[in-house]
Amino acid sequence: MVTGKGYTDRTLLETEVHTVLADSLAAQPLDGQRVLVIIPDGTRSGPIDLLFRELHELLTPRVAALDVLIALGTHQPMPEDAIARRLGVSVEEMRGRYANVNFFNHHWELSETFRTVGVIPAAEIEQLSNGLLSMDVPVTVNKLVFDYDLLLVCGPVFPHEVVGFSGGNKYFFPGISGPEVINFTHWLGALITSYEIIGAGYTPVRAVIDRAAGMIDVPKLCVSPVVKGDELAGLYVGTPEEAWEAASALSAKVHVIYSDKPYRQVLSVMPSMYDDIWTA
């Protein structure tokens, strides 16, 4: 069951954010468990710092371990100072107040860091892709996840040009996956075209991602914020599928603007948070 709240005409107060997280986590059997929090890198905007502080405060007294894995996909690893900025803390605080937390970068290029959890067969791929592709897709994921009792995804939901809307199980694939699913889903998205897929709700790419995530035999929970500026328009907690569904419905209202006319030219300004031109 998903819990949370969201609005199109205002943003959440910090007290509301705390209440949503506190109530959701209180219902989870987390005492003595090892929890891995999976967060986005610096290419995703939103108050991850607030959410990290809340999760640390709420979970540290209960769990045996609370660590962080950065879902880089194929992006560059983040050095310690960049991780600190992402979480809104200083390097000194990481080494002091948060010394009980291990911070890991995902390395998509290192085959020794992965475990194969299954294969999506060609016949199923053909069905999921609406006949666009037919091939076996090996499913590999960062083997670090198998050292934990709960995988806690914490990342925003926006319209996305490859999958429709970001968030949810996308933090596993491509976030912490091997190159096979990364390459396949981006090619499938390209065949559909970004024009058709961005903001389109549940897409064939999302279906493949959800199928792959179902092969990870570790309990999962997802915190799905909907970001508006530097604040939250909404926050939902549940399974990755449930939380994403609620957050993407709100994102469609908050982030998608419909125009009565087409534009001949559009000027796009790349934010300074991007290190690579291709990512921007």
Pairing of strands 3-6, 231-238: antiparallel
Summarised one tens digit per residue, pLDDT across range 256-270 is 988 999 999 989 888
Residue range 96-126, pLDDT digits in tens: 999 999 999 999 889 999 999 999 999 999 9
Task: Give residue 252's pLDDT.
Answer: 96
Q: Find the CATH number of the domain harbouring 204.
A: 3.40.50.11440
**Domain assignment present for 273:** no
Has residue 37 been placed in a domain?
yes
Q: According to the model, what pLDDT value does residue 45 have?
A: 67
Q: Which domain holds residue 69?
A: 3-254
**pLDDT computed for residue 211 by the predictor:** 97
Residue type, 152: L
Look at residue 42 in the predicted model and tell me its pLDDT.
63
Whole-number CA gyration radius for the chain: 18
Instruction: Name residues whose C-beta falls within 8 Å of residue 126's C-beta, 6 or more positions apart in sequence.
Output: 133, 134
- pTM here is 0.92
Cβ-contact 187, 146 below 8 angstroms: no
**Distance between CA atoms of 75 and 43, rounded to whole angstroms?**
9
Instruction: Count CA atoms within 13 Å of residue 93 on its CB side.
Output: 11
- Return the closest-CA partner of residue 182 out of 192, 168, 196, 172: 172
Three-state DSSP class for residue 120: strand
Is residue 262 included in any domain, yes or no? Answer: no
Residue 131 domain flag:
yes
Tell me, what amino acid is at 217? D
Q: Decide if 23 is inside a domain.
A: yes
Write b or e for each residue in 71-97: b if 16 or more Cβ atoms lie within 10 A of its Cβ, otherwise e: bbbbbeebeeebbbebbebeeeebeee
- The DSSP code for 242 is H
Residue 41, pLDDT score: 81
Q: How many domains does the chain have?
A: 1
Confidence at residue 160, expressed as pLDDT on a 0 to 100 scale:
87
Q: Which of 104, 120, 135 has its CA nearest to residue 36?
A: 104
Name the residue type at position 253. K
Q: What is the pLDDT of residue 278?
A: 63
Query: How much is the pLDDT for 245?
Result: 97
Residue 77 lies in a domain: yes
| Positions of the chain with pLDDT lower than 70, given as ranges | 42-45, 273-280
Q: What is the 3-state secondary structure (H, E, C) of 51-75?
A: HHHHHHHHHCCCCCEEEEEEECCCC
Indicate the DSSP class of residue 277.
Answer: T
Extract the tokens encoding 54.
């809340």
Closest residue by Cα to residue 60 from 25, 12, 88, 11: 25
Q: What is the pLDDT of residue 274?
A: 67
How many CB atoms within 10 Å of residue 143? Answer: 14
Residue 14 domain-assigned? yes
Name the pairing type of β-strands 65-71 and 103-105. Answer: parallel
